[in-house]
Amino acid sequence: MVEQIVEKLFNMMAARILILHILANKVSTGYSLLKEISRILKTDLKISTFYTILHDLEREGYIKSFIEKRKQGIKYYQITDKGLKVLSKTKAVVLSKIHVLSRYLEETPPIF
């Protein structure tokens, strides 16, 4: 039970970061983002969870969407300047915290 909660929370946090990271490199559809993130995380994200995260990022101003009329009205997403700034800061924090946590877990035996 605890493992499932931790995995769900981690995947939600990771999905937010990965959406920004992917969109920093290319414009993408929601479906393409979902498939790429599921592949990276080696899990099937729930579509409802994924699109909630995507819409939250858009509402917060980190990404924006547009519809490509020449391609049957397909909705695309791109990162904003605000999104690029938060991605840069977030990556630094996450990498630092993961390094600290990983080192601690490897060096400290569990106490039972």
pLDDT in tens, 52-107: 999 999 999 999 999 988 878 899 999 999 999 999 999 999 999 998 988 998 88
The domains of the chain are located at 2-107
Tokens coding 21: 């990271």
The number of beta carbons lying within 10 Å of the beta carbon of residue 15 is: 24
pTM score over 0.85? yes
Tokens coding 60: 């917060």
What is the H or E stretch that residue 41 is in? helix 30-41
Distances (CA, A) of 112 to 2, 81, 108, 109: 17, 48, 12, 9
Residue 6 pLDDT class (50, 70, 90 cuts): confident
CA 58 – CA 60 distance, rounded (Å): 5
Report the CATH fold assignment for 2-107.
Arc Repressor Mutant, subunit A (1.10.10)
